[in-house]
Amino acid sequence: MSLDVGLETRPKLKKQERREHILLELRLRPHVRISELAERFRVSTETVRRDLEKLSADGLLDRAHGGASALASGHYPGFDERASARVEERERIGRMAASLVQPGETLMVDSGSTTVQFARFLAYDGTPCIVITNSFPVAMALGQSDAASVIMCPGDYLPSESAVIGTDAVEFLERHSVDRCLIGATGISEGGPSETVRGFAAIKRAMLRRSTVSHLLVDCEKFGRKGLAQVGNLSDMTSVISDQEPEEELASWLRRADVEVLVAR
């Protein structure tokens, strides 16, 4: 009886606290049910359903019938592994992307091996700008320039990517508007850019929404690939910057969506 009284008198968790508890639970077991969570948190099933939908939109769990599941595991190369591949191509893409930035612009830059190359060349150019990023390597590269002012997103640290993700990061991005964003992706197909790294799709979607001009930085090996989570449509982007022209089928889709293809020679 004393246990029941304790549960009834314990203060209800706030929204963010509930969501943190849900993610913690999914680290301990692969699936949680809405009904169980509603009973534990002493809230309605609709409240829990909204929590799960938000966490799913942020790329932190997979929605399943009656509840949610931990994200499916599978090997995808981490940041360090990706950064050591196709370095010359990434450098060319980064250099071209940096040349597009005008003095005084505001930017959003996401985490990725190619966006780090962009940050390196932007710092080397000494272009005055304000950059919001969720990537520690991007911030460190831009920190080499006295001209760049860097703002780090808050959020949940993802060690394999040296970046932050999650609800706090997405909500922080949504509170800002910038001139242009520069993002990477796992792949790009007729459906648009897509992402495999946990939590990254939500970050990229927020950056696309809050930017006037958007650039996708991908090497040609990403053409035709599809990642786990959809980032957006082709029409959400202003340009694709790559080391080669895409094959005709993808090039046709890009033309229909009025997306410019810039090839870094």
Cα–Cα dist 117/113, whole Å: 7
* Angle, vertex CA 188, rays to CA 221 and CA 261, nearest 5: 85
Two structure tokens written together for 259:
């997306």
What pLDDT, in 10s, does the model give residues 155-198?
A: 999 988 999 999 999 999 999 999 999 999 999 999 999 998 88
Cα–Cα dist 27/258, whole Å: 42
Contact in structure between 225 and 188 (CB atoms under 8 Å): yes
Assigned CATH class of 2-69: mainly alpha
Tell me the CA distances in angstroms from 170 to 26, 57, 166, one per residue in order.
Answer: 21, 10, 6
Q: Check for a shared fold between 2-69 and 79-263.
A: no
Q: What is the pTM assigned to this prediction?
A: 0.73
Cα–Cα dist 187/148, whole Å: 29
Contact in structure between 180 and 213 (CB atoms under 8 Å): yes
CATH of 79-263, one of 3.20.20.20, 3.40.50.1360, 2.60.40.1930, 3.40.50.2300: 3.40.50.1360
Contact in structure between 151 and 161 (CB atoms under 8 Å): no
Residue 42, Cα to own-chain centre: how many angstroms? 32
Cα–Cα dist 147/74, whole Å: 40
To the nearest 10 degrees (0 to 180), the angle between helices 87-100 and 113-125 is 50
In the chain, where the domains are located: 2-69, 79-263
What pLDDT, in 10s, does the model give residues 221-243?
A: 899 988 888 999 999 999 999 99
**Mind listing the pLDDT tens digit of every residue in the chain (265 residues)?**
333 444 455 578 888 889 888 988 887 777 888 999 999 899 999 999 999 988 887 777 888 778 888 765 544 555 555 555 668 899 999 999 999 999 999 999 999 999 999 999 999 999 999 999 999 999 999 999 999 999 999 999 998 899 999 999 999 999 999 999 999 999 999 999 999 888 999 999 999 999 999 999 999 989 998 888 899 999 999 999 999 999 999 999 999 999 999 999 8
Alpha helix locations (H) across the chain? 2-9, 15-28, 34-41, 45-57, 79-83, 87-100, 113-125, 136-142, 167-174, 200-209, 248-256
- Please report the pLDDT score of residue 1 as a whole number: 35
- Please report the pLDDT score of residue 78 as a whole number: 58
- What pairing do the DSSP bridges indicate for beta strands 105-109 and 178-183? parallel
